[in-house]
Homo-oligomer: A and B are copies of this chain.
Amino acid sequence: MTARCGAIERLKLDDAWAWLDACPDVADSEPVALGQARGRVLAAPLPFPGDLPDRDLALDDGYAVRAQDTQGASPYNPLFLSLVPKEAALAAGNASACHAGEALPPGADAVLPLEAGEAAATSLELCAEVASGTGIGRRGQTGRGGDIALAAGQCLAAAQIALAASLGVARLTLRRRPTVALRIAGAKPPAAEALAAALAALIVRDGGLPRAGPGRALAEAGADDLVLLVGRSGWGEDDAAATDIAAAGGRLDHHGLALTPGGSAGLGWLGSTPLLLLPGEPLAALVTYELLAGRLLRRLAGRPSAWPGPVRRLTLTRKIASPIGLSEFVPVLCQGETAAPLPLAPPGGLVSLARADGFLIVPAEREGYPPGAAVDVVGRPCDSLAQDGS
């Protein structure tokens, strides 16, 4: 395929996003044990199985009391209550030991913390007063049975897993993880392995299940939920990707994006499976993964398709010059409220990407930004880590 003056009609980034956003959903769900649920997405809301708490209960270890009996107690003015075994109802002037999570005896309306009392055989010395309701959880105050505890689409991290366990849930109905056929063409080991490892890490971050398949025929990748074909994407003599796609029975709806880096990316199909063609040059591969593949994959995995993490409005320290007609990915270094653009031309671009802590996109219709411009910066690009702290 020979390039001709103006022969490549480049798809605008917004139109590429519209194409990605129109790809059909992957809506299957499956039961998963709680211990394996980390990073997965709830397919259906998780309701409270009953009222939470299911009765008035002690929130702390201590002593069930009637609050009015404690009025005036302090280290300088200790008061005494009769310490009685746990009984059907707590009479005035009495106290009984209780543990966190235990039901309160009727009559009790507060829990005196363990350290605010000193127990003898049949009496309790108080060195603090407590107000009615102190240390007590009321039945249903957190949720009524049937209320939604975790919404469908919730991504499950440590806190959500601990919550589900506390509700007595052992298995959850989760979205199936979309499988991603990842094929690298044209790169030699160890660069090919490293690029595959880097992209696989991003696929995992976005909720997908990477399936490297150098031994499989490309046509078989149509059984996966998404195909990423990386390398040989251009229009030179050794750029066989478009031919390979056609030979496997697939097609490209678009080949060539109005984007830099990553202009040789393509969007197409292998059967009914969306296929993204990404450039093999590592920088362009990572950038197009972030701008195209990640967006689609997150949605297929049941997550919001937007870039994860907050967008910050920062002030540019330096001018950005950008070709009109192309959307440009620009990595930046953020410091306080400012963003300094980093050069992205290869081979240095990969250095910039590795040092960046944010990026912005210059829209196709702009020639760049003057210094001092307010720009929207999104988080660290190509960060495959759980909040990495670097």
| Residues in chain A within 8 A of chain B (CB atoms) | 2-8, 34-35, 38-39, 41, 52-53, 59, 61, 75, 78, 99-101, 114-119, 125, 127, 137, 141-143, 149-150, 153-155, 157-166, 170, 190-191, 193-199, 201-202, 204-206, 234-236, 281-283, 285-286, 298, 303-304, 306, 308-310, 343, 345-348, 350-351, 353-354, 356, 379-390
Contact = CB atoms under 8 A, between A and B. Distances in A.
Contacts of A143: 348, 351
B166 A191 contact: yes
A159 B304 contact: no
A32 to B, nearest CB: 12
23 contacts: A2-B119, A5-B75, A5-B118, A34-B194, A35-B193, A35-B194, A39-B385, A53-B348, A59-B346, A100-B281, A100-B346, A114-B235, A143-B348, A155-B385, A157-B201, A158-B383, A159-B353, A159-B381, A160-B354, A162-B198, A162-B286, A205-B387, A309-B389
Contacts of A381: 159
Interface centre among A53, A150, A194 (most CB of B within 10 A): A194
A125 B155 contact: no
Given A4-B115, A5-B125, 12 more contacts: A5-B116, A7-B115, A52-B348, A142-B343, A150-B354, A154-B390, A155-B385, A158-B198, A158-B384, A159-B350, A162-B286, A166-B191
B163 A389 contact: no
Nearest to A34: B194
B386 A385 contact: yes
A142 B355 CA distance: 13
- Copies, count: 2
B389 A194 contact: no
Given A5-B115, A114-B235, A38 B384 contact: yes
Given A114-B236, A142-B351, A163-B354, A197 B387 contact: no
Instruction: Pick the most buried of A190, A310, A356: most chain B CB atoms within 10 A of its CB.
Output: A190
A34 B193 contact: yes
Contacts of A41: 390
A228 to B, nearest CB: 14
Given A2-B119, A119-B2, A351-B142, A195 B162 contact: yes
Contacts of A303: 388-390
Nearest to A312: B310
A11 to B, nearest CB: 14
Contacts of A285: 162
A194 B162 contact: yes
A190 B157 contact: no
A295 B61 CA distance: 28
A348 to B, nearest CB: 3
Contact of A34 (B127, B190, B345, B382): B190
A163 B353 contact: yes
A4 B143 CA distance: 36
